[in-house]
């Protein structure tokens, strides 16, 4: 059975792209979220194996969402999606409990490497 | 040797010893049986004696000797020192400081004898019960934690966000045990200069293999070296120090700054010609320059404790003078800042602390009457917040009384202030006006008309900002935000017409496109809808009074200072550069929103926008 992923990003473009990369590698994208609040709700409901999380989102940012998710499930596996120049935020996310990160613009191979590391 | 050459060093180190003396006296005042404090004071005084004798400052040496004699008796006595003796020691510490200042400035103190007399007479009258038992208190050696290993990790050179990758490694190993002495500190890993190499101690009973596997699992790890740290970690991790004149570091920093500018020029040159040899050499040079820059910045960092530790004594004295009871709590002493910034901080912080004692904290009677503990609490704290260092002075006093300030503003006919819509920031600006102070009587400490304006000017000159929050009856918090280093800061270069301006990246939240559909008009200001609400827009073209209109698609740079945001409309964002801010004497009439100047690689001078003035 393939592993399940929840994709959180406020841009449809990014969600579609990440989703495609993951689906082509046989992961099962079981849900999407556009805001931090939604991400936490969907996580609770779907219990995915992996969450990809954008840092900047409306209605609770990605970092706070990571904090909430880790509170709900300390073993949650969250992969941060960041842009260049967000290093300090990424560090904050890691300290909040994120397990790895990828940097936009995404290279499919890098995304998959990170996903494999997190799910290992 | 020529003692004159060592005068600065002497003064520097003397201040450290004086800080120890004052702080430990404060400890003793609270707990007279703290023998460790007596020993610490004794060591400091003893060092001062030796140093001053070497410098030929005989007055200082004699005074230190007299203090040392008294302390010796205190150490030998089974009774803790009483208030009278502590008062004598406090006074002597003041005299000692004065005599050191005098000596360094070439004035031999005349009243050293006056200071020595009461010490000698105390020593003469002192009858120790058991003077022979002069034993050195055994200092328990630090026990070395077992199983400590020293690790060196190298992140791949082509990895993105190497600093974040390093943070991931540290986060993972923290699950195995205690992580000690991370070098370089995490603050500097987040700078561009971080080359991906770092080391730390790890206390764990896991095998080397398991540790390495876990670290490699963080991704982008090039190499891991693990070594036994030996039984005494103190020895292996303790750095060997040498004192360097700050001016020499400044000179090196300035040269590195020039080198950084030249490097940028070289990169642009190489980009213009497709010559692989030139490109390879350029990469090599820029890598070396970045490494050098990183090392120099590290050499300039010092913990805030160097300044914070000077305050307890001043706070105690100020509280006494005003008949207030104050407890000073210090947090985040280990946070590091550029020495040059640290030096600039001493006066503004002292000012804020005195302000808190004088205007913030109420008298014990008032406090008890309003249901608070008799002693007021002032917290001086330092911590990191993203790329900035944040220092807060928080008191639990009466808060800032808006009505009183407004009354005062009206008396002075400062226009445009209206009680209903006065925001805290405006209040602060008002308080910051030269000569504006609400102290009803002029005291020795504050209220001399030198107010928050001095603090703000000082802070702006080093690229920082100051905010205030206050709640009547609950207290006031002053928040200082500072760049961790003065030296080199990443900045966004923006263009209007053919002019370029730099905006420090520490204050840039994001850049978005100006979209007419998400712009609304609110009275005189346009507001742009971005993710978390709307921000007021200002146009750089208008600010710099440039005629004409920009291109149809204009980017907006969202500038953020604390909680305040504004959108700055520019023609074009050129890109990100490391800039070296230069001291900049503003010609009269220069627009107030410029904070300095820099030179780009091409040799083009560029003005730096002061974010705090824009929002």
pLDDT digits (tens, 9 = 90+) for B15-46: 888 988 988 898 888 888 888 888 888 888 88
Q: Under DSSP, is residue B153 helix (H, G, I), strand (E, B) or coil?
A: strand
**Which one of A94, A104, A118 makes the best mutation probe of the B interface by having the most chain B beta carbons within 10 Å?**
A94
| Helix (H) or strand (E) run with residue B53 in it | helix B35-55
- pLDDT recorded at residue A44: 94
Percent of chain A whose pLDDT exceeds 70: 98
What was the pLDDT predicted at B131? 35
Q: Write the residue in A10, A58, A103 that is nearest to B160 by C-beta.
A: A103
Please tell me if residue A75 touches chain B, with a CB cutoff of 8 Å.
no
Residues B378-430 have pLDDT tens digits of 999 998 876 678 999 999 998 877 777 777 777 766 555 455 555 555 666 66
Angle between helix B35-55 and B58-76 (nearest 10): 160
B602 pLDDT higher than 70: no
Q: Which residue of A has its CA nearest to B491?
A: A85
Residue B439 pLDDT = 45
Q: Is the pLDDT of residue A69 over 90?
A: yes
Report whether pLDDT(A80) > 90.
Answer: yes
List CB contacts (< 8 A) between B532 and chain A: 58
The ipTM value here is 0.79
- Inform me whether the pLDDT recorded for B336 exceeds 80: yes
What mean pLDDT value characterizes chain B? 78
Average pLDDT over residues B7-18: 80
B445 vs A: CB within 8 A: no
Do A100 and B163 count as a contact with CB atoms less than 8 A apart? Answer: no
CB within 8 Å: A91 and B190: yes
pLDDT confidence band for B434 (50 / 70 / 90) = low
Residue B416 confidence (pLDDT): 53
Chain A contact for B534, CB < 8 A? no
B571 versus B425: which is more confidently predicted? Answer: B571
Asked if B532 has any chain A CB less than 8 Å from its own CB, the reply is: yes
Q: Give B557's contacts in chain A (Cβ within 8 Å).
A: none
Percent of chain B whose pLDDT exceeds 90:
9
Per-residue confidence (pLDDT) for residue A65, from 0 to 100:
94
- pLDDT-wise least confident of B67-76, B165-174, B433-442, B540-549: B433-442
> Between β-strands B564-569 and B555-561, what pairing exists: parallel, antiparallel or unpaired?
antiparallel
Model pLDDT, residue B53: 75
Q: Is B178 on the interface with A (CB under 8 A)?
A: no
Residue A58 sits at the chain B interface (C-beta within 8 Å): yes
Q: Is B160 on the interface with A (CB under 8 A)?
A: yes
Rounded average pLDDT over B599-614: 77
Band (pLDDT 50/70/90 cuts) for residue B122 is: confident
pLDDT in tens, B144-160: 345 678 888 999 887 88
Mean pLDDT over B197-212 rounds to 84
> Tokens for B475?
């207290």
Q: Return the residue of A nearest to B530 by Cα.
A: A58
Residues of chain A found within 8 Å of residue B164, distances taken between Cβ atoms: 82, 87, 90-91, 94, 101
Pair of tokens at residue B491: 């900045």
- Residue with the larger pLDDT of the pair B562 and B239: B562
> Looking at residues B470-481, what average pLDDT do you find?
87
Does the model's pTM come out above 0.80?
Answer: no
Q: A89: which chain B residues are within 8 Å (Cβ-Cβ)?
A: 386
**Hey, of B164, B192, B385, which one would you mutate to test binding to chain A, going by the most A CBs within 10 A of its CB?**
B164
- The answer to whether residue A84 neighbours chain B at the CB level (below 8 Å) is yes
Q: Collapsing DSSP states into helix, strand and coil, what is residue B345?
A: helix
The more confidently predicted of residues B386 and B464 is B464
Q: Which residue of B has its CA nearest to A85?
A: B161
Is the pLDDT score of B440 beyond 60?
Answer: no
B217 interfaces chain A, CB cutoff of 8 Å: yes
Q: How does DSSP assign B236-276, residue by residue?
A: HHPPP-----HHHHHHHHHHHHHHHHHHHHHHHHHHHS--H
Residues of chain A neighbouring B218 (CB-CB closer than 8 A): 100, 117
**Contact state of B167 with A95 under an 8 Å Cβ cutoff:** yes
CB contact under 8 A, B386 and A92: yes
Tokens 């540790």 identify what position?
A: B211
Q: Give me B231's structure tokens.
A: 């039984």
Give yes or no for residue B343 having a pLDDT over 80: no
pLDDT the model gives residue B396: 93
Nearest CB to B531 within list A56, A87, A113: A56
Query: What is the tens place of the pLDDT at every residue in A15-24?
Result: 888 998 999 8
Identify the band that residue B509 occupies on the pLDDT scale cut at 50, 70 and 90: confident
Tokens at residue B364, please? 């014990």
Kindly state whether B175 is in contact with chain A, defined as any CB-CB distance less than 8 angstroms: no
**Are the C-beta atoms of residues B360 and B366 closer than 8 Å to each other?**
no
Q: Is the pLDDT of residue B261 over 50?
A: yes
For residue B28, which phi and psi values (nearest 5 degrees)? -60, -40
Residues of B in contact with A58 (CB under 8 A): 531-532
Task: Determine the average pLDDT of the residues in B488-505.
Answer: 85
What was the pLDDT predicted at B233?
A: 38
Highest-confidence range of B32-36, B133-137, B285-289, B560-564, by mean pLDDT?
B285-289
What the block records as the tokens of A69 is: 């998710």
Among the ranges given (B201-205, B444-448, B557-561), the one the predictor scored with the smallest mean pLDDT: B444-448
Instruction: Decide: B181 and B201 in contact? Cβ < 8 Å.
Output: yes
Residue of B164, B219, B532 lying closest to A87 (CB–CB): B164
Q: Do B531 and A10 touch (CB under 8 A)?
A: yes
Residue B430, pLDDT score: 66
Write down the pLDDT at residue B446: 42
How confident is residue A70, by pLDDT bands cut at 50, 70 and 90?
very high
Instruction: Note whether B279 and B287 are within 8 A (CB).
Output: no
Statement: residue B572 has pLDDT above 70: yes
In this structure, of B17-21, B226-230, B467-471, the range with the lowest mean pLDDT score is B226-230
Q: Identify which of A89, A100, A120 has the shortest CB distance to residue B168.
A: A100
Residue scoring higher pLDDT (B37 or B107): B37
Indicate whether A40 pLDDT > 90.
yes
Nearest to A98 by CA among B165, B192, B191: B165
Q: In this predicted structure, what is the pLDDT of residue B133?
A: 34
Helices (runs of H) and strands (runs of E) counted in chain A: 5, 5
Which is higher by pLDDT, A105 or B44?
A: B44
Question: What whole-number distance in Å separates Cα of residue B322 and Cα of residue B319?
Answer: 5
Please indicate whether, in this complex, the C-beta atoms of A92 and B168 are within 8 angstroms of each other: no
A117 contacts in chain B (CB < 8 Å): 217-219
- Chain A and chain B share a number of CB contacts under 8 A equal to 50
Question: Which pLDDT does position B354 carry in this prediction?
Answer: 84
Are residues A90 and B532, on separate chains, in Cβ contact within 8 Å?
Answer: no
How do residues B297-315 score in pLDDT, each as one tens digit?
A: 778 888 888 888 888 888 8
Best probe of the A interface among B155, B158, B159, B168, by most A CBs < 10 A, is: B168
């Amino acid at each position: 059975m393939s592993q399940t992923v929840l994709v959180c990003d406020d841009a449809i473009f990014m969600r579609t792209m990440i989703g495609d990369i993951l689906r082509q590698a046989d992961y099962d994208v079981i849900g999407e979220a556009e805001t931090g609040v939604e991400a936490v709700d969907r996580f609770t409901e779907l219990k995915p194996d992996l969450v990809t999380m954008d840092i900047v989102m409306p209605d609770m940012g990605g970092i706070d969402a990571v904090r909430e998710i880790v509170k709900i499930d300390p073993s949650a596996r969250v992969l941060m999606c960041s842009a260049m120049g967000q290093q300090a935020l990424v560090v904050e996310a890691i300290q909040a409990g994120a397990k790895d990160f990828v940097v936009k613009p995404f290279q499919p191979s890098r995304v998959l490497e990170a996903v494999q590391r997190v799910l290992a | 040797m020529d003692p004159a050459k060592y005068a600065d060093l002497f003064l520097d180190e003397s201040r450290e010893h004086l800080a120890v003396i004052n702080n430990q006296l404060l400890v003793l005042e609270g707990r007279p049986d703290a023998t460790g404090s007596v020993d610490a004071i004794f060591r400091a005084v003893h060092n001062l004696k030796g140093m001053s004798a070497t410098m030929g400052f005989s007055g200082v040496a004699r005074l230190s000797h007299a203090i040392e004699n008294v302390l010796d008796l205190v150490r030998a006595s089974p009774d803790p020192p009483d208030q009278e003796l502590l008062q004598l020691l406090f006074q002597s510490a003041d005299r000692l400081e004065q005599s050191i200042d005098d000596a360094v400035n070439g004035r031999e103190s005349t009243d050293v004898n006056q200071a020595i007399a009461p010490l000698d007479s105390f020593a003469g009258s002192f009858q120790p019960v058991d003077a022979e038992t002069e034993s050195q208190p055994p200092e328990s050696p630090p026990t070395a934690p077992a199983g400590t290993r020293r690790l060196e990790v190298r992140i791949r050179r082509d990895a993105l966000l190497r600093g974040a990758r390093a943070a991931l490694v540290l986060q993972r190993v923290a699950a195995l045990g205690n992580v000690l002495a991370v070098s370089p500190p995490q603050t500097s890993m987040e700078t561009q200069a971080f080359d991906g190499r770092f080391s730390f101690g790890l206390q764990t009973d896991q095998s080397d293999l398991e540790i390495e596997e876990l670290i490699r699992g963080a991704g982008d790890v090039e190499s891991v070296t693990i070594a036994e740290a030996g039984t005494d970690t103190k020895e292996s991790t303790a750095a060997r120090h040498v004192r360097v004149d700050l001016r020499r570091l400044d000179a090196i920093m300035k040269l590195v700054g020039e080198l950084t500018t030249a490097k940028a020029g070289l990169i642009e040159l190489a980009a213009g010609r497709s010559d692989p040899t030139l490109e390879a050499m350029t990469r090599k040079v820029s890598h070396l320059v970045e490494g050098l820059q990183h090392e120099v910045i590290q050499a300039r960092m010092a913990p805030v404790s160097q300044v914070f530790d000077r305050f307890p004594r001043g706070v105690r004295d100020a509280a006494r003078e005003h008949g207030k009871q104050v407890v000073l709590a210090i947090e985040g002493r280990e946070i590091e800042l550029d020495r040059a910034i640290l030096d600039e901080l001493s006066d503004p912080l002292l000012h804020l602390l005195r302000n808190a004692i004088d205007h913030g904290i109420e008298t014990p009677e008032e406090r008890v009457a309003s249901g608070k503990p008799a002693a007021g609490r002032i917290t001086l704290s330092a911590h990191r917040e993203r790329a900035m260092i944040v220092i807060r002075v928080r008191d639990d006093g009466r808060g800032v009384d808006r009505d009183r300030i407004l009354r005062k503003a009206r008396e002075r006919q400062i226009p445009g202030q209206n009680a209903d819509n006065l925001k805290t920031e405006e209040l602060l600006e008002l308080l910051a006006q030269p000569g504006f102070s609400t102290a009803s009587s002029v005291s020795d400490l504050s209220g001399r008309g030198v107010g928050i304006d001095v603090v703000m000017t000082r802070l702006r000159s080093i690229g920082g900002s100051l905010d205030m929050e206050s709640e009547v009856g609950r207290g006031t918090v002053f928040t200082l935000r500072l760049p961790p280093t003065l030296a080199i800061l990443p900045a966004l270069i923006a263009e209007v017409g053919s002019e370029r301006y730099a905006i420090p990246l520490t204050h840039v939240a994001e850049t978005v496109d100006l979209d007419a559909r998400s712009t609304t008009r609110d009275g005189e200001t346009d507001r742009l809808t971005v993710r978390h609400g709307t921000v007021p827009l200002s146009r750089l073209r208008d600010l710099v009074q440039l005629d004409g209109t920009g291109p149809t698609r204009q980017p907006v740079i969202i500038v953020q200072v604390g909680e305040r945001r504004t959108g700055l409309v520019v023609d074009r964002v050129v890109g990100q550069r490391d800039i070296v801010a230069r001291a900049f004497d503003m010609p009269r009439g220069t627009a107030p929103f410029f904070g300095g100047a820099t030179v780009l690689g091409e040799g083009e001078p560029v003005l730096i926008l002061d974010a705090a003035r824009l929002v």
